[in-house]
Amino acid sequence: SLLPQPRRHPLKPGGPKESELIRYLDHGVNSIQKRVDNRTTNRRVQPAPGDEQGYGAFAEVAEHLEALVDVVWVSGSPNLQTPYLLNMAVLTAEFLPMFPATPPSSRATFRLLSKLDEAFSSLLTGHDTATGEALPGFDGERHVSTTDKVRLKGIVDRTRLTVARVVTRRGLGEHESDVGESRDTDTEGDTVRFEGFDNDDDEDDDENMEERDIAAVYEKTIGELGDVLGGPPIGIITDDWGINGPDEQRSSSDFTESEGVIE
């Protein structure tokens, strides 16, 4: 399983441990948002002392989002898992196009999305899809509301389209950089060698692997959503879907409890 082992029992709703976890998650999400805003590719002035250091690549964003996914999953609390994971999935789709597309970022992206896919598909069934065990707090029942399922479907569609565009953009950029190199020749030994043709098989393998990775984005979740929403499996959409719709919020304030004191 890509996900860590959750607690055996959910946190007590409204209890001090849940409140502490909410503050931790909110701080983590807000920190990521600030560092994305201060990203080096968008920086016009140096950050002031004390400001969050901006990210230089999406791989860094994915690493920190993945860490928060692990924390909220370990909580074993569906009332926290569903809203926070939905929020992190929205942020993933929103932040990904803001950074240069690179192989390390692509690998980090697919790893993060695979972890989110396993989490959402497990929440939709009430069982860990990797082990088959019932999730804490579910008691064999489904606890994801129809509203959240519809919202998740929109996020899945948007993310698959975004990933396809970002990976394609990287492929076009690499192709353009190779055009000039392909004109270079090597006349040593009375032969002409065109750069860029030596590793065609390797490049084809990389492209095929990327295509498989794109097709696998939220693959498990798609299957479960097709069942729970009573429709056919969903896939990549062609119409733009607004990531900041009426019920989409970048801020995690929707999930924050009123201030309380941890005893």
Model confidence at 94: pLDDT above 90: yes
**Parent domain of 105:** 59-252
Give the CA distances from residue 135 to residues 6, 126, 224, in Å, rounded to whole numbers and listed in that order: 8, 6, 16
**Domain contains 175:** yes
Q: Is residue 156 one of the residues assigned to a domain?
A: yes
Question: In this structure, is residue 263 part of a structural domain?
Answer: no
Cα–Cα distance measured from residue 13 to residue 36, given in angstroms and rounded to the nearest whole number: 32
Contact (CB, 8 A) for 149 and 156: no
- What is the average pLDDT across 155-178? 76
**Confidence band, pLDDT 50/70/90 cuts, at residue 92:** very high
Helix, strand, coil % in the chain, rounded to nearest 5: 55, 0, 40
Question: Does 24 map to a domain?
Answer: no
Structure tokens at 192: 């002409």
In a domain, 209, yes or no: yes
What is the enclosing helix (H) or strand (E) of 185?
A: strand 185-186
What would the mean pLDDT of 82-100 be, rounded to a whole number?
97
* Domain assignment present for 155: yes
Burial state string for 78-105 with b = 16 or more CB within 10 A and e = fewer than 16: bebbbbbbbbbbbbbbbbbeebebeeeb
What would the DSSP string read from start to end of 186-232? Answer: E-TTS--EETT-TTHHHHHHHHHHHHHHHHTTTHHHHHHHHHHTTSP
Q: What is the pLDDT of residues 60-78, one digit of tens each?
A: 999 999 999 999 999 999 9
Amino acid at 32: I
For the record, the structure tokens of 162 come out as: 């975004």
Q: Quick check: is 41 in a domain? A: no
Tokens at residue 247, please? 């019920």
Number of domain units in the chain: 1
Which of 145, 156, 163, 149 shows the shortest CA–CA distance to 108?
A: 163
Check whether 22 has a pLDDT greater than 50: yes
Whether residue 15 is contained in a domain is answered as: no
Inform me whether the pLDDT recorded for 258 exceeds 50: no
Which residues are registered as beta bridge partners of 186? 193
Look at the pTM and tell me if it is higher than 0.85. Answer: no
